[in-house]
Structure 1
């Protein structure tokens, strides 16, 4: 089994890796100067996040984003095109309005879930009901007729809306410990009760709809102030909305106290039939090795609770800005430079998997793929992704990057291949050297990943600017490298759970007809 070393870049300079001293390189100097003195990041972020907004696959906003990227690249003199690779259920979010109408009037904070049918023109108004405590599945079936004509609350009533870090800062040690114990007991009891119904949190939704519920109300709290995860609906005809915790728990208490609260949901979404889905590809043709490729990679789509700023607007900005700078400062690369803005990553890496499946000749001749996805922070980790000699060429390319950027980065050589998670995995499965530029999280997982708070104001432009510099220089160095990057793979270790040796990920075909009933 190969040992895996985690070392800082600076440390590696003294440990025998073949990193060569770099004289002052005017291209590198110009890349850095252009990024710092003529950055287009703020303007691009405004146009993409503020004006176009979220980019859910199958929506008009997703198509607008693809067209905007092609137009923007054209202004920079970069050839770009939209490549159709599949079809998706067309859907457009409209106005969502959720109001408590009894026992008093209050506008509530929440939204309709994606791909949910719109309500009738006058909306849907009904009393709320919560899931009962049941002895077993028979007991649940006896209760089920109670949902007819009601809006059913399907999420646990959280006992606190304060994140743990807030408790840790202000509560006594005993109080914090007590809260966590009570919350764990509450969660266990909720999960056990759900099992006794005979369903889980997903399958129970269809059962409630078929039993005549007027709608589904959930709260997918993300363990931060005012923040919820927003995904897709699982109903076919009735509204499904997610309420922020403060309003959801208020309504839940009202139900438990017998106040019989009623709410009204107006959701003006539109079904748009079957629509094509795309990748946007931009290209700077290689001058010496045009049939070899260095690829910049970032998924273009997002969920639509917010505007997709850090997932993956910032990755998109990094790749667009790097491409703009490279076109200006390195217009005649040795190898062809491609950037892929992938569609439908959020539903299973579909855009990048389609590109890999449809372009075997390109993938076969990839020098390197640099992918960025997870948030707005500066890059702090780079893995060799399971390529045995990755420490040689990656270190050589990194040696041209300013120390104030590489000082922040830890490397993991040779690393292991990713089987999923982001679009680099699509290329890795086909054997192409693909590397994820992993970022400092800036509370990404709780506050912006797939949430209603993933918006422009969360972008840290200094970090994004550094990532654009890093990416542009890595692409430049990979393009100029006289050697082809080795694809030799490590021998993967034994899986302790199975006792068998792990294997390299296999290519997977994309979903090319998403959300379409056949």
Structure 2
């Protein structure tokens, strides 16, 4: 399904976004003139806030298989073309089509209350609103007992997740509780988690098979609360049901319903979800390219994944990586017109389902992979880059160290390096290249609460971006790309001798994995 989106954006938003904080360069530091131009452009003409507005507020979350993902592909390609950069969409597979709709979840008994809840990705819609009693999992200790209880869920809405007695973060408890109380509450929480995990194991199910069993038994809907441990933030992943809705309820409302059900109040909730199941849809990477003038068959790749989960806007996972790489391409096109090697930007699809876009690119573009000088990937939040690993390439220090010397000291001084490091086996898209023996480097950021607060959560929104930190990363990425392009030598790909693990076995270099080309079995 093709979407044409036209944004009426106030001029004040699209105009140059200036910030009081800038990339400061010591007057005694002599930068390469091109690098100095990068710094000047970032300081005086940054387009980051406008790019973020268009992507995050305009298009929104970018779940693979949705019209919004295709809209993001088209938007990013058109943005590159507007800067005079060749761009196209490269298909790597298909995925089940789906589009989020309006979701209403309300408690209707014993009193009226609108609940804070989110439909899980790919969850079936309700043909008509589902209104039913809420029940909790039974206090049983075996699969036989649980299976005997299962028929009683027919027509009910089942709370399937662990109940959280305290909805405060560990950090807040530690700040205000006495040391004795903190230790007591910490142990109670750990014990409750262990007991719940043991319970699920004892009844013979897991997070995938339990929803399937409840659905087969006739449940009207399933509700979970995938709380992060930070107030207000829940993680949103995919539904495990095929015909009934599956929703996530914020910890506060989930706890209220749980206590009511446990105490015999027989609460009822009403669920209305208007999502749409769409036909199987094509999955794309957005590929932009500035042809090299001297070595067009050698490549420097800028890497970030364009897709996201859709509990929020996908701002720090990975909108910040996307706008970093787009802004870097704009600046390189403007201030580095005689690039020696071809500079490629890859904005990957379906990273969240297993690095499928970047793995597809590696599989489908063997000549580019053969000629790739380096890959620079950014994918862990809004913070300034503070770590670069050599990813297991023996001589990576020789070239990464040299390239880093061209970076302004105020940017470089934040960065710790690890050479030769260990190859990444997963986690983000540089891993797809490392597995293929290509020097792929993660530009790892200061987390700014990433893993607890924004990673895959309902709070991953525009306002969590710290643009001054992202500017720092643009200067870094543009300089690394420039230096990698200019380097007279092709990067050495010699792999390190892998260490022996605690079992006495020699660790193996990660294997190249085929992408999932469709959603079968997912």
Aligned twin of 2:279: 273
Question: 2: CA distance between counterparts of 1:24 and 1:403?
Answer: 10
Task: Establish whether residue 332 from structure 1 lines up as the match of residue 338 from structure 2.
Answer: yes
Q: Tell me: CA distance 1:205–1:24, structure 2 relative to 1, closer, same or farther (3 Å).
A: closer
Aligned twin of 2:392: 386
Question: 2: CA distance between counterparts of 1:516 and 1:183?
Answer: 35
Counterparts of residues 24-423 of structure 1 (less than 5 Å) = 24-120=31-127, 122-423=128-429
Q: How far is the alpha carbon of 1:516 from its aligned partner? A: 7.4
TM-score by length of 2: 0.93
Question: 1: CA distance between counterparts of 2:136 and 2:358?
Answer: 41
Q: How far is the alpha carbon of 1:135 from its aligned partner? A: 2.6
Aligned twin of 2:487: 481
Question: 2: CA distance between counterparts of 1:185 and 1:472?
Answer: 49
SS at match of 1:396: helix
SS at match of 1:158: coil
Task: Establish whether residue 509 from structure 1 lines up as the match of residue 498 from structure 2.
Answer: no
Bigger mean CA offset, 436-445 vs 189-198: 189-198
- The answer to whether the 8 Å contact 1:112/1:239 transfers is yes
Q: How far is the alpha carbon of 1:48 from its aligned partner? A: 0.3
- Superimposed CA distance per residue, residues 446-485 of structure 1 (whole angstroms, 9 cap, x where no aligned partner): 1000000000000010110000110000000000001111
Counterparts of residues 414-433 of structure 1 (less than 5 Å) = 414-433=420-439
Q: Aligned pair count?
A: 494
Question: 1: CA distance between counterparts of 2:226 and 2:50?
Answer: 32
User: Which sections of structure 1, spanning at least 5 residues, go unmatched?
Assistant: 1-21
Q: How far is the alpha carbon of 1:515 from its aligned partner? A: 4.5
SS at match of 1:454: coil
Aligned twin of 2:7: none
Question: 1: CA distance between counterparts of 2:520 and 2:46?
Answer: 39
Bigger mean CA offset, 183-192 vs 403-412: 183-192
SS at match of 2:205: coil
Question: 1: CA distance between counterparts of 2:103 and 2:209?
Answer: 25
Residue 456 of structure 1: which of 445, 458, 462 is its match? 462
User: Which sections of structure 2, spanning at least 5 residues, go unmatched?
Assistant: 1-28
SS at match of 1:393: helix
Q: How far is the alpha carbon of 1:23 from its aligned partner? A: 5.6
- The answer to whether the 8 Å contact 1:284/1:331 transfers is no
Q: How far is the alpha carbon of 1:24 from its aligned partner? A: 3.6
- Superimposed CA distance per residue, residues 253-312 of structure 1 (whole angstroms, 9 cap, x where no aligned partner): 110111100001110000111110000000000000000000000000000001000000
SS at match of 1:125: strand
SS at match of 1:128: strand
Q: How far is the alpha carbon of 1:332 from its aligned partner? A: 2.1
Instruction: Point out 4+ residue stretches in structure 1 off by more than 3 angstroms.
Output: none
Q: How far is the alpha carbon of 1:416 from its aligned partner? A: 0.7
